[in-house]
C-alpha cells in the first residue's frame, strides 16, 4: 500500500479542487461573512485537499432570506410542474455526464473505494433525481365526499424553506436524497454538507446552476454542526429540518426545532441484525454478511454489524466470514483493485480503534483484523471480525461506524428475533433462509424500517427508508418522501 495516490486524477477534478470553495447563497458564490474557512482532508493521505468557506449563523440568516424570497416569489413553487420536472431530469443528466469526475472527487474527500463511488454513490444520486423528477407531475390532492352543498378538496403544497443537514458517509447520495424530493414538491432548500466531505455538494451546486435552477432555490452552506448546523435547526425562518446523522445530534435537532415547531424528519444510526439460519445458502450469506458490514469501511447507517448465526453453524460461518474479510484488499481508494479505503477522519479512526480495545476487554475474540491497517499515512483500519460476542457487550450495542462485525450465536428462531430486536435502534435487518414461511414470519417480527431477505443493503428510490425506535422517524425515498415535504390543505367551497 502506498500513501501517495498511484492513480492519475482527472484534470477537471484537480481544477475543481483548486478553485475557491465558497457558499452558494441566492444563486451566487460568496465567502462566509466571517471570512473564515476550514480544511477538508484527503483521509488516504492526510493532506489538505481544499480550504472551504465556513458558514455560521450569519450566513444561514442570509440564506434563509434568499430562500424565502425565492419561495414566496413562486419562481419554483408556482412553476408549472412539467417545467419543474425538466430541471430535475436535467440535474440527473448532469450528474451522469460528470459521473467519473464526481466519483473521484467523492473518493478523494471521503476515502471510499473508487468502485463504490463509481458504481453506487454517483449513479444512485442521479437515479434519485430522475425518480423524483417523475413525481413532480404526479402529486395530487383529492376531492372529498363532504355535504351535498359543499365542494371539498385537498391541496398538497410545499412546506416552504427546508433546512437539510447531511453526514459524510455518502455525501452526494445523501444530498440527493434530501434535495430531490424537496425540490420535486416545490420547496426551497438550505443544505449543509458534513464538514469532512463538502466537495461533491459544492460541485452539485455548480451543476444545479448549470441546469438553470432559479436563484435561491438551493443554497449550499458548508460549515460545522455547532455553527451552521445548529443555526439551521433553530432558525425561525426555516419551516422544516431534515437530518441524517448520529442519534445524539438528532436529539439536539429536535430540541432546537421546537422553537418554531419545525417539521422534523430524522434518519439516525443503527446496529442492524443480520440473521443467518442454518438452512441458508451459506456461501451467499457469508458474502452478504461481508458486504453488509464492510461496505464503505462499515460507515453505513444500515450496516449489518450484528451477525447472528445459529449455534450449530456458528464456528464454520465465522471462519468463512473472517477468511473473506482478511482477503479484502486495503489500499489507495483511487485504485480500482482496492476494496477497503481509509475511514473518513482521524476522529473516526480513533473512535473505531477504541472499540477494538473495548471488544477485547469485554472478552470477545478477534478472528481477523483488530488493528489499524495502514503502513504510513491514512486512517486505515483492517476489516475486523469479533467472535464470542454476546448481545449485551458494548460492541453489540453501540454504533461503531467502522469495519467491525460482532458475530453472535443464537439458539432458535425465537431467540434470533428476540436478540435481533434487543437494541435501541431499528433501522434495518436481514434474514437468510431457504424456508419461505420463516423468511416472511421473521421479516414481520423484526422491528426495523427495512428488512432484507437473502440479500443485504438493497436500496432503491422507489422503496421507503427510515427507522423504528431511536433510528429516527419519517421515511425518505418512495412516495413517503412526498409526505415529508408537503403540507395538506383542506378547501371547502359552498355550492
Ligand atoms: P453527526 O455529528 O451526527 O453529523 C451529521 C451532520 O450533523 C453533520 O453535517 C454535522 O456537521 C451536523 N451536526 C453536528 N452537530 C450538530 C448540531 N448540534 N446541530 C446541527 N447539526 C449538527 O455525526 P458525526 O459526528 O460525523 O459522526 C459521529 C457518529 O454518528 C458516527 O460515529 C456514527 O455513529 C454516527 N453517524 C451516523 C450516520 C448515519 O447515516 N446514520 C452518518 C454519520 C455518522 P459537521 O460534521 O459538519 O460538524
Ligand atoms: Mg474530507
pLDDT (tens digit per residue) in 402-441: 999 999 999 999 999 999 999 999 999 999 999 999 999 9
Question: How confident is the model at residue 146, as a pLDDT?
Answer: 96
Nearest listed ligand to the Cα of residue 379: 2
The verdict on whether 142 is a catalytic residue reads no
Tracing cell 443480520 back to the chain, one arrives at 274
Ligand with an atom nearest the CA of residue 52: 2
Q: Give the total number of structural domains in the chain.
A: 2
Neighbours of 137 (CB within 10 A): 14
Domain assignment of residue 368, yes or no: yes
pLDDT of 3 strictly over 60? no
Spot the catalytic one: 101, 106, 185, 301.
301
For the cut 60, the answer to whether the pLDDT of residue 110 exceeds it is: yes
Could you identify the atom of ligand 1 that is nearest to the CA of residue 174? Answer: 40
Residue 4 counted as domain residue: no
Alpha carbon nearest to ligand 1 atom 19, residue: 230
Residues 257 and 279 in one domain: no
CB 21 within 8 A of CB 51: yes
Task: With cut-offs at 50, 70 and 90, classify the pLDDT of residue 6.
Answer: low
Both 337 and 260 in a single domain? no
Residues 311, 249 share a domain? no
Instruction: Return the best residue to mutate from 43, 246, 466 for the ligand 1 pocket (most ligand atoms within 8 A of CB).
Output: 246
Q: Is residue 354 part of a domain?
A: yes
Which residues are near ligand 1 (CB < 6 Å)?
165-169, 192, 194-195, 224-226, 229-230, 233, 244-246, 249, 252-253, 268-269, 301, 351, 399, 401
Residue nearest to atom 27 of ligand 1 (CA): 246
Ligand 2 center–CA 108 separation, angstroms: 7
Specify if 151 maps to a domain: yes
Closest ligand 1 atom, CA of 300? 40
In a domain, 35, yes or no: yes
Residues whose CB is less than 8 angstroms from the CB of residue 392 and which lie 6 or more positions away in sequence, other chains included: none
Q: Is the pTM of this model over 0.85?
A: yes
Q: Which residue has the cell 372529498?
A: 144
Question: Ligand 1 centroid to 388 CA: how many Å?
Answer: 31
* Catalytic residue selected from 267, 399, 413, 476: 267
The residue whose CA is least distant from atom 11 of ligand 1 is 225
* Sequence-ordered alpha helix ranges (H) in 405-451: 413-421, 436-445
105, 188: one domain: yes
Say yes or no: 175 and 232 in one domain. Answer: yes
Residue nearest to atom 12 of ligand 1 (CA): 225
pLDDT (0 to 100) of residue 478: 98
Residue 2 lies in a domain: no
Q: Are residues 264 and 327 in the same domain?
A: no
Residues 236 and 311 in one domain: no
Q: Residue whose CA is closest, atom 44 of ligand 1?
A: 245
| Domain presence at residue 325 | yes
- My answer on whether 63 and 160 are in the same domain is yes
Atom of ligand 1 nearest to the CA of 268: 41
Q: CB of 230 within 8 A of CB of 220? A: no
Q: Supply the CATH number for residue 306's domain.
A: 3.40.309.10
Predicted pLDDT at 1: 46
The pLDDT tens digits for 449-473 are: 999 999 999 999 999 999 999 999 9
Same domain assignment for residues 348 and 278:
yes
CB atoms within 10 A of CB 231: 25
148 and 17 within one domain:
yes
What's the domain range around 239? 11-268+471-491
Interatomic CA distance for residues 284 and 483, integer angstroms: 36
Tens-digit pLDDT profile for residues 228-256: 999 999 999 999 999 999 999 999 999 99
Distance between CA atoms of 95 and 475, rounded to whole angstroms?
24
Residues 212 and 302 in one domain: no
Rounded CA separation 401/384 (Å): 12
162 is known as an active-site residue: no
- Considering only CA atoms, which residue is closest to atom 29 of ligand 1? 246
* Residue 231 and residue 285 share a domain: no
- Give the C-alpha separation, 102 to 2, whole Å: 23
Residue 119: count of CB within 10 angstroms of its CB:
12
Q: Mind listing the pLDDT tens digit for each residue in 10-67? A: 999 999 999 999 999 999 999 999 999 999 999 999 999 999 999 999 999 999 999 9
415 lies in a domain?
Answer: yes
Contact 55, 192 (CB under 8 A): yes
- Max alpha carbon distance in the chain (Å)? 79
- CA angle, 253 then 102 then 42, to 5°: 70
Q: Looking at residues 70-98, what average pLDDT do you find?
A: 98
Where residue 235 sits, what CATH number does that domain have? 3.40.605.10
Q: 64-97 b/e with 16+ CB inside 10 Å = b?
A: bebbbebbeeebbbebeeeebbbbbbbbbbbbbe
Amino acid at each position: 500500500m502506498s500513501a501517495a495516490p498511484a492513480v492519475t486524477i482527472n484534470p477537471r477534478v484537480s481544477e475543481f479542487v483548486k478553485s475557491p470553495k465558497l457558499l452558494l447563497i441566492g444563486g451566487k458564490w460568496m465567502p462566509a461573512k466571517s471570512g473564515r474557512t476550514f480544511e477538508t482532508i484527503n483521509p488516504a493521505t492526510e493532506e489538505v485537499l481544499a480550504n472551504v468557506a465556513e458558514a455560521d449563523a450569519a450566513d444561514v440568516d442570509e440564506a434563509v432570506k434568499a430562500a424565502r424570497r425565492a419561495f414566496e416569489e413562486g419562481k419554483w413553487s408556482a412553476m408549472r410542474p412539467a417545467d419543474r420536472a425538466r430541471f430535475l431530469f436535467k440535474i440527473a443528466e448532469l450528474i451522469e455526464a460528470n459521473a467519473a469526475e464526481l466519483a473521484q472527487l467523492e473518493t478523494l474527500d471521503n476515502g471510499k473505494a473508487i468502485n463504490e463511488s463509481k458504481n453506487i454513490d454517483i449513479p444512485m444520486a442521479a437515479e434519485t433525481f430522475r425518480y423524483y423528477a417523475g413525481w413532480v407531475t404526479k402529486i395530487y390532492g383529492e376531492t372529498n365526499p363532504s355535504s351535498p352543498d359543499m365542494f371539498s378538496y385537498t391541496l398538497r403544497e410545499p412546506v416552504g424553506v427546508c433546512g437539510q443537514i447531511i453526514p459524510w458517509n455518502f455525501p452526494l447520495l445523501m444530498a440527493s436524497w434530501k434535495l430531490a424530493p424537496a425540490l420535486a414538491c416545490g420547496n426551497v432548500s438550505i443544505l449543509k454538507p458534513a464538514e469532512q466531505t463538502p466537495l461533491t455538494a459544492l460541485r452539485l451546486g455548480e451543476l444545479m446552476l448549470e441546469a438553470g435552477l432559479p436563484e435561491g432555490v438551493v443554497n449550499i452552506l458548508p460549515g460545522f454542526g455547532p455553527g451552521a448546523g445548529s443555526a439551521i435547526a433553530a432558525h425561525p425562518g426555516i419551516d422544516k429540518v431534515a437530518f441524517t446523522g448520529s442519534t445524539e445530534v438528532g436529539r439536539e435537532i429536535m430540541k432546537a426545532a421546537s422553537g418554531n415547531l419545525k417539521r422534523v424528519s430524522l434518519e439516525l444510526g443503527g446496529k442492524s441484525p443480520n440473521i443467518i439460519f442454518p438452512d441458508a445458502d451459506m456461501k451467499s450469506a457469508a458474502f452478504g454478511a461481508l458486504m453488509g458490514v464492510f461496505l464503505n469501511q462499515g460507515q453505513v447507517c444500515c450496516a449489518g454489524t450484528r451477525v447472528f448465526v445459529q449455534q450449530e453453524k456458528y464456528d464454520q460461518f465465522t471462519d468463512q466470514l473472517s477468511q473473506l474479510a482478511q482477503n479484502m484488499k486495503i489500499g489507495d481508494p483511487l485504485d480500482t483493485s482496492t476494496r477497503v479505503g481509509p475511514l473518513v477522519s482521524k476522529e473516526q479512526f480513533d473512535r473505531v480503534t477504541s472499540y477494538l480495545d473495548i471488544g477485547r476487554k469485554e472478552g470477545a475474540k478477534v478472528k481477523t483484523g483488530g488493528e489499524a491497517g495502514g503502513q504510513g499515512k491514512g486512517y486505515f483500519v483492517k476489516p475486523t471480525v469479533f467472535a464470542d460476542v454476546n448481545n449485551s457487550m458494548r460492541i453489540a450495542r453501540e454504533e461503531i461506524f467502522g469495519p467491525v462485525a460482532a458475530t453472535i450465536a443464537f439458539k432458535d428462531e425465537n431467540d434470533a428475533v428476540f436478540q435481533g430486536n434487543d437494541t435501541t435502534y431499528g433501522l434495518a435487518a436481514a434474514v437468510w433462509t431457504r424456508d419461505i414461511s420463516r423468511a416472511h414470519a421473521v421479516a414481520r417480527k423484526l422491528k426495523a424500517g427495512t428488512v432484507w431477505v437473502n440479500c443485504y443493503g438493497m436500496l432503491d428510490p422507489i422503496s421507503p427508508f427510515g427507522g423504528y425506535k431511536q433510528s429516527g422517524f419519517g421515511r425518505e425515498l418512495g412516495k413517503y418522501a412526498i409526505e415529508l415535504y408537503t403540507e395538506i390543505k383542506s378547501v371547502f367551497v359552498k355550492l
